[in-house]
Amino acid sequence: MQVRLLTVGQKMPAWVEQGFQEYAKRFPNDFKLELVEVPAEKRGKNADIARITEKEGRSLLEQIQSGDWVIALDVKGKSFSTSQLAQQIEHWQQHYPNVVLLVGGPEGLSEQCLARANQKWSLSALTFPHPMVRIIVAESLYRAWSVTVNHPYHRE
């Protein structure tokens, strides 16, 4: 299975890249986790936020193939425990070889991205800094995957 994390924003601090890569490299060859960044639009004090969010959304949507299973990270989405996420991973592995996770910019995802999503996933009712989301998603996926293969990483 190929999982691509599509995010708005580039040039993250080194600790963000290192944190994401630490988990991405742990997956086996049959479960790839890849990060794809699209540029964030400039935001000035009189910026048209709706237009910016829509443009960033188009950039994300351009990265999606027709057969991809798309999951939008959205505060209104479904929350998963680790065991529930493990069940989701097993379902994805059986039915969707290409999974795409969408992370929007500071204002979230565009309506077009939310409409394209097959699922919506909420990491928390809390708002996280977008660089942290990359690491949280990578670790959460790794932990849930470890449950599916009885790897000792996850202990209940």
Binding-site annotation: residue ranges for S-adenosyl-L-methionine: 73, 104, 123-128
> To 5 degrees, how large is the angle CA 107–CA 109–CA 114?
150
The answer to whether the beta carbons of residues 99 and 63 sit under 8 Å apart is no
Within its chain, how far is the Cα of 17 from the centroid? 14
Residue positions in the annotated binding site?
A: 73, 104, 123-128
In the block, tokens 């999974």 appear at 99
Q: Which residues pair with 71 in a beta bridge?
A: 101, 119
Find, among 143, 155, 99, 131, the residue nearest to 18 by Cα.
131
The answer to whether the beta carbons of residues 143 and 153 sit under 8 Å apart is yes
